[in-house]
Amino acid sequence: MIGGRLIILILYIVGVYVFSFIIGVANLFTFNNVSLESLVNKTFDYIIVGSGSAGSLLAKRLSQNKNLTILLIESGGDVRPGFLDIPSLGLMLQGTAYDWKYTTVPQKWGAYGLAGNRSKWPMGKLVGGTAQFNNLMYLRGHPDDFKEWYKDLPSFDYKRDILPYYKKLESTGDSFLSRLPFTSSAAEYALNAFKSLGYNVNKNQLDSFVGFGSPYVNIKNGKRWTSFHQLLSHDRPNVFLLSHTTALEVLFRSNYEAYGVKYIRSGETVVSLARHGVILSAGVIGSPKLLMMSGVGVKSHLQSVNIETKLDLPVGDNLQDHITTGFSLVTFNDTLDFGVGISTMLNPLTALEYFRTQSGPWTTVGCEVNGFINTKNPKNPLAQPDLQLMMLPLGIEEDSGLYLRKLMGISDATWYNYFHHVNKSIAVLPVLLHPKSRGTVRLESKNIDKQPLIDPNYLSVEDDVETLYEGIQIVKKFVDAEPMRNLGAELNALPLPGCEHLTFDSEPYWFCYLRHMTYTAYHPVGTCKMGADDASVVGYDFKVRGTNRLYVVDASVFPTLTSGNVNAAVLMMAEKAADVILEQLFLKTGFCCILEIFKMKTVCEI
C-alpha cells in the first residue's frame, strides 16, 4: 500500500515538472496576427490592454462593427496547448510562466501561517487571463450588491440595469454557462448534511441567495470556455492581437485626452494610436499599475517614485478580497475515497473517459457544493449573504506537501506541525463575502518590471474576524450532522502552531486560528473604484475621471465585492461597458452617419 502510494506521488511530481516545462517552452513561441513593424504609429479605433475576461469580451463586442479596428495588447503568451482547456488542470498553471506570481507584502493582522505572512496571488499572464486557470464558477451575485455600487444613482434598477446583461451572457449562441459536469461522492453527502441542518438545498445555483447547491460553470463540451475562446471562435480580421507585449504608458494630449499607448515588445518600444479610445482591462493589479505609470494616481505616492503627476486620483486604493479559511479542518479515516484523489486523476481510465466522452473526474472544477448564509438573518432566503461556504472534496495534504502547499505559500512550521499530520480531509471553507478591511496597490518604483506592492490589509477590521468565526461555527455543525458522522467526519483538533497556548474550540482559539489560517479566495477587486464621489477613479460611464477617451473595464472598477465568485460579474460589466462605449461613439459620430444615409450610402463609416 505504501509502495503504491509512493509510486503515485512520484508520477504526480514528475507530471507537475513536465507540465511546467511544456508551459515554459510554449511561452517562448507566439502566433501574433500582426507584425510589429506595421504597428508603428498606426491608428486603431480602440486599443484594449489585457486579453482576460473583460478585455476579450470587449474586443468581441466592439469588433462586431466591421468598420472598427481593435488592437488587443497582452503581456503574456498566446500559445495555449489544448490540454489547458481541461478544467481540472487550471490549478497547474499557477507558478508557471503563464502566472504573474504576485505576492502581497507581509500582513500585519493575518496570514500568520503563511511564509513571511505573505499571501500568494496567482493571476493569468497569457491570452485569456486569469479565467484560463480559475475554478470556472459562474455566480451572478445578489441584487443588493449592485445597489451598493450604484447608490449615487437614485434611478438605479437591478432588473433593468444589470440583470439583462447577465441574461445576454447566458442566452447567446456563445453562452458558456452549463451545469456542473462532474461531482464526487462527497458532494451528495455534503448536500444531505446541510439539508439536515435546515438549510434550503437546490440542485443548481445562479444567484447568490441563501441556501446550498451546485454552481453553474463556464464549461462547454467538457472544456474550459472563456470569453477569449469566444473571441477565437469568430472570424474577426479587425481584431489585431499582440502578445508578449508590455504596455508602458497611456499617452495623453494636454487636455488629458488619451490618444495612444506606448509599449515594448522584443526589446523595441513602439507607439500605437487610438482614434476613439484606450481601454484598460489589465486586471485589479495591472490596470492601476499602468495608470500610475502614466501619471494618474495619488500625487504623494507618484512623487515618491519620481513619476510626474498628471491627475491626482485615488488609484490603487479600495483593494478588497474575499478571505477564506478552514483547509484540512474536516478530517476522515484515510481509507475513504471520494473518487477525485491523485490516484484517480492519474488513472489512464480517467484520461480515456475524458478524451472519449469529455466527462469524468478531469472535468471537476474543485468546488462541488456551494452555499450562502446570512449570519444576521439566517431565516430570510432573499437576504444578502455575508458568508459563502465552498466544499472541495480534497484537502491540501492530498499530495503530501509536494505542490499544493507551495502554491498557497504555507510556512514550513505550519505544514510540518499541522497539515503534515492529517491523513484525509475535505475542505469546507467559509468565505467572507463583504470584508470591511481595505488595502492598497502601490508601485515599488517607476521600473515597469518591478512587481507592485500589494497590501490587502487582511483582517484589519475586527468585524471581519467575527463574521468568519460564525463560519467556523457552521463548519462545526456540518461535521456533527448525521450524514457526516456516518462517514466518520471529525473536527481537526491538532494544535495549530501559534495557537497551542489556547484551549482548543474556545473563542480565543478560533480567533487565533483565523489570523493564522487566512487565505485569499482569489477574488480581489476595487483598485479603480467606479462611482460619482471623490473616492472614485472612474465614473459610471467607465471613463477615468478628468480624462477623455480613457476607460477601465475589469474587476478593478468594482466599488465593493459581489456575493460570490466575481468572474460572472466581470463579464456582465464588460457587456454593459461595451454598450456604453458604443453609445458614446454613436453620439460622437451619429450625425455624420445620418448624413451618409441621406446620401443613399448603405454603410456609415466611423
Any residues with CB less than 8 A from the CB of 349 and at least 6 apart, and which? Answer: none
Neighbours of 463 (CB within 10 A): 14
3-state SS track over 538-559:
ECCCCEECCCECEEECCHHHCC
Which residues on adjacent β-strands are paired with residue 240? 71
Sequence-ordered alpha helix ranges (H) in 294-326: 299-304
Q: Is 130 annotated as a binding residue?
A: yes
- Reading the block at residue 8, the C-alpha cell is 503515485
CA quadruple 484, 490, 491, 492: dihedral positive or negative?
A: negative
Buried b (16+ CB within 10 A) or exposed e, 512-528: bbbbbbbbbbbbbbbbb
Euclidean distance between CA atoms 256 and 262, whole angstroms: 16
Which uninterrupted H or E stretch holds 194? helix 185-196
Please state, in angstroms and as integers, the Cα–Cα distance from residue 19 to each residue in 12, 13, 16, 82, 586, following that order. 10, 10, 5, 12, 47
Residue among 373, 334, 369, 387 at smallest CA distance from 193: 369
Euclidean distance between CA atoms 201 and 194, whole angstroms: 8
Which residues on adjacent β-strands are paired with residue 311? 296
Torsion angle of the four alpha carbons 154, 156, 157, 161, in this order, in degrees rounded to the nearest 10? 170
Burial class (CB in 10 A: 0-12, 13-18, 19+), 262: middle
Euclidean distance between CA atoms 550 and 540, whole angstroms: 13
* Binding site feature residues for FAD: 130
* Binding site feature residues: 130
